[in-house]
A and B are shown apart, each in its own frame.
Chain A
């Protein structure tokens, strides 16, 4: 099963290596990983999505929690309401005749064209996992030349997150 985990960590060098190592050392393959400082520059938030067995992942999360640089961990799941988004940037082959068709698809998904050249355009699309998947399905036939994605970022809904046990 696919899981989304977020760790609030101290914004220091080596912290990402510790967190990533906690997963790699236990044989997990990380699907997506996003890191950035929070509104308080002392802290960063690391968001990870991966596929794992529930029990093995629970163990890894508890061991993650032992790391001195890790302040708090949230395992987004069915017990807590959360919103998750991902940003994808893709360069699509689009010359004169296909360009308008590509833009049509973009409009439907509220994706933005952020760069245009005679042979290709760069599109920015934000959304949850399902939307991104559907968008990519429709765009693929036009010819994706390059793609970069942020991986999921996620937050709990409502009042500021308290420590989640699960």
Chain B
């Protein structure tokens, strides 16, 4: 029951033969270019799955928990820039997607979440597996639809994809009652849709851009502060060219990582709570801070009043609501950042710009870089340290892997010791900070790029939260690896306990608290991840001796299936540098 897509020019609405709503949904997804969905069936969505079995264009991957499917779609979207699609049944299936939707909302990721809903006649009657999912997700979606009129389904799907991927991306929910899925009608697939509340892509005026360039000419200590907006806008080449033409140092957020090469002379790499010393100090001391597609998150600014206190701040963003939200900007430029950078490059090349002499500024920055080199120095230990494991992974893979992470210490060490030179290589839950994100996100990225090496650098706490997805990896033959930094603790909370709570352990020990496992007590390690992985049919090995680390990582990287490397590390390491909350960049802790 599939229609052949008819190529018309100019595009016209297309009428399909009579078929079930579920088949119409699948036909719509095919028309949006969707080639994979991460979908867990249930009573209110099994019609959709029946239709998916009839599609030759869409691969359906069955996660082992709806949240896993949501994060797979998220990882897919992060790695490709395309909308990721996840699907779940009504009630508990849908509520299990809530965290994924909130996560995509915080990190501005195009996620289309399709949920089954009970028959319309049962809505509002506390029917089996009924939840008001439309209502529940209102504060965490870019937009949402509850399909009450079956015939509107093709228009809604087209709108959903357009909304999710246009402007500042974000998650869109489509809730489809079962009667809509079962109804048979002749669909009309629209060639385009009107969305009156969607704005045109804003473009900065030349006058605004020339004003910025003039400020840059006169500045003595400028810095670029680049965020995830550069990645969403696919503006990496433009950023690089603009940075080189102006000679300004570039400090990135974690969301923007990879847009500017880590090893470039102008690179300050990433800044914020655990970012580079030079990056934090350069932003703090800047006299002109040009912010491109970033939102002054509290993990970047620390205490807002102490953030770049003497800087004239220029804020470029596609979302006006970010202007002056967290930090006052002296000049705001409402624009598509790719357009603004492209146009500024043209203006510079047309002679509207004299490159400022920043040699004194770079002399200062270079001194900082020498005093506090990056990657940050850690003290050797007789045990494998988590930093060393990531550094070794970086060396073995020559920096050419897609990396995802869970949340916690390892999430900060990963971008410190794995240096990213390309966008869409670092996939992490940065705004919401969701533990359990790493492994399913890695699977989603691997599905998008089957021939690329994808490694989830994870902690034992985070990994356990979606451990069931090893079954998905095995059955679907998704080869993403897991570098498990197993310290038997919730390391980041432990670090804060050590620094601010006299080391009192508030339920941060993951094994038996009376017999804590670690590199010096291997017997007590709990759970045994190698055995767990083997139960799922996944290759796994434990490594605890330094001399075995490199060979173990090489074996993992070169394995031809999914692989878990259980690296036993001490829990005593702290992530440094560290700007504690309420402190300024100048008070950064380095030991």
Nearest Cβ on chain B to A54's Cβ, whole angstroms: 12
Distance of A25 Cα from B196 Cα, bound (Å): 25
User: Provided the pairs A59-B325, A62-B323, A65-B321 are in contact, do residues A14 and B146 lie with their beta carbons within 8 angstroms?
Assistant: yes
Q: Are A17 and B196 closer than 8 Å at their CB atoms?
A: no
Chain A residues within an 8 Å CB radius of B198: 68
B573 at the interface (CB under 8 A from A): no
Q: Are A66 and B135 closer than 8 Å at their CB atoms?
A: no
Distance of A67 Cα from B168 Cα, bound (Å): 12
B303 at the interface (CB under 8 A from A): no
B195 at the interface (CB under 8 A from A): yes
Which of B135, B148, B321 lies in contact with A62, CB distance below 8 A? B321
Chain B residues within an 8 Å CB radius of A85: none
User: Provided the pairs A25-B139, A68-B142 are in contact, do residues A10 and B325 lie with their beta carbons within 8 angstroms?
Assistant: no
B536 at the interface (CB under 8 A from A): no
Interface string of B137-148 (1 = CB under 8 A from A): 011001110101
B320 at the interface (CB under 8 A from A): yes
Chain A residues within an 8 Å CB radius of B146: 13-14
User: Provided the pairs A14-B138, A17-B138, A18-B138 are in contact, do residues A70 and B197 lie with their beta carbons within 8 angstroms?
Assistant: yes
Nearest Cβ on chain A to B229's Cβ, whole angstroms: 15
Nearest Cβ on chain A to B477's Cβ, whole angstroms: 39
User: Provided the pairs A14-B146, A62-B321, A63-B321 are in contact, do residues A71 and B197 lie with their beta carbons within 8 angstroms?
Assistant: yes
User: Provided the pairs A62-B320, A65-B321 are in contact, do residues A10 and B138 lie with their beta carbons within 8 angstroms?
Assistant: no
Chain B residues within an 8 Å CB radius of A13: 146, 148
Most buried by A among B142, B195, B196: B196
Distance of A5 Cα from B57 Cα, bound (Å): 48
A69 at the interface (CB under 8 A from B): yes
Interface size on A, as a range, is 20 to 34
Which of A55, A59, A65, A68 lies in contact with B163, CB distance below 8 A? A68
Q: Are A17 and B320 closer than 8 Å at their CB atoms?
A: no
Q: How many residues on the B side are at the interface (Cβ–Cβ under 8 A)?
A: 20
Closest to B321 in A: A62
Q: Are B319 and A66 closer than 8 Å at their CB atoms?
A: yes
Closest to B319 in A: A66
A36 at the interface (CB under 8 A from B): no
A37 at the interface (CB under 8 A from B): no
A143 at the interface (CB under 8 A from B): no
Chain A residues within an 8 Å CB radius of B148: 13
Nearest Cβ on chain A to B22's Cβ, whole angstroms: 23
Nearest Cβ on chain B to A162's Cβ, whole angstroms: 15
A77 at the interface (CB under 8 A from B): no
In the complex, besides A59-B321, A68-B163, A68-B197, 17 extra interface pairs with C-beta distance below 8 angstroms are A10-B197, A14-B134, A14-B135, A14-B146, A17-B138, A55-B324, A59-B325, A62-B320, A62-B321, A62-B323, A63-B321, A65-B320, A66-B321, A68-B142, A68-B198, A69-B143, A70-B197
